[in-house]
Amino acid sequence: MNRPDRAAVVATAPPARLPRFTRAERVTHWVNATLWFVCIATGAMFRFGIGQSLITDRGLARNIHVIAGLGILAAFLVAVVGRWGAALRRDLARFNRFSRDDMRWLRTFGGDRKVRLGKFNPGQKLNATFIGAAAVVLAATGSIMKWNQPFSTDLRTGADFVHGWFAVFVGIAVFGHIVMAFRDREALSGMVGGTVSAKWARDHRPAWFAETQAPPEGEDPVSAGGSVPVDA
């Protein structure tokens, strides 16, 4: 695959940093994070009375909680449609697929250093998948709680129960996500500045590193450049 001229370019000028997340993906991540933070803060206030003296108007706090929660889904939909969503859609497809290496990584709790991971490790994939499902479940159960007239008290209680338990696990997942981000600063800088060092990619995400060094199959330069003559 590697033609001599490409190999020469790589050898003489190794790229110091590789693009990992587009601007659109990073904006999506931080908008999402902010909305979750608002939901967690207001939710903790209702459940435990934390910071209740700060916001005495519970009606306002509840509206903020509902708007931020539904905003998570709305922001995601905006992010995933349209041209700016292409990179996010590709990453969502990556979250879905677990390779044989991923399964081995899971079985060894990440202990097997020989596995060749893709762009995301399976923990990141599961975290993203869980948060996505939780956003849907929490929005649905929260809606039953907020617009409760059509529902029996049994269903309201059930919605309340599910909302509470998913919220607990979201809290654990978000806490773990933040701890992991600070333990791996290079991964964090991928979500802050958009790039990671080539060395990090080679050491921690070898299958993805290889992908970035060769055009992926199905996107050969000829078809990808189909519009070039028009532009030129």
Partner 1 sequence: MSSDAGSPVGRRVFLGLLGLGAVGVATGSTLSEWYQELAKNDPTGLASVLPGGGGWRYYTVTGEYPSRTHAEYSLNVGGLVDRPFTLTYDELVALPPTRLDRDFQCVTGWRVADVKWQGVRLADLLDRAGVQADGTALRFTCFDGEYTESLTLDQARRPDVIVAYELDGKPIGSDHGGPVRLYVASMYGYKSAKWLDNIEVTRKVIPGYWEERGYDIDAWVGDSNGRNDEQT
Residue 153 tokens read as 């008290």
Q: Does 74 bind partner 1 (CB under 8 A)?
A: no
Residue 58 tokens read as 């519970």
Contacts of 174 (CB under 8 A, 6+ apart): 36, 40, 131
Q: Does 206 bind partner 1 (CB under 8 A)?
A: no
Shortest distance, position 139 Cβ to partner 1, whole Å: 10
Residues contacting partner 1: total by CB under 8 A: 51
Three-state SS for 159-173 is HHHHHHHHHHHHHHH
134, 166 contact by CB (below 8 A): yes
159, 144 contact by CB (below 8 A): yes
Shortest distance, position 23 Cβ to partner 1, whole Å: 24
Q: Does 141 bind partner 1 (CB under 8 A)?
A: yes
- The smaller minimum CB distance to partner 1, of residues 34 and 143, is found at 143
Residue 229 tokens read as 């003559």
Which segment (16-24, 28-36, 48-56, 81-89) binds partner 1 by CB under 8 A?
48-56
Which segment (24-32, 67-75, 152-160, 174-182) binds partner 1 by CB under 8 A?
152-160
- The smaller minimum CB distance to partner 1, of residues 5 and 154, is found at 154
Distance of CA 199 to the CA centre of its chain: 23
Give residues 164-183 in contact with partner 1 (rule: CB under 8 A).
164-168
Q: In the block, which residue shows the tokens 């907020």?
A: 146
Write down how long the chain is.
232
Give the binding site for partner 1 (CB under 8 A). Answer: 48-49, 52, 56-60, 62, 95-103, 125-126, 129-130, 132-134, 136-137, 140-141, 144, 152-168, 211, 216-218
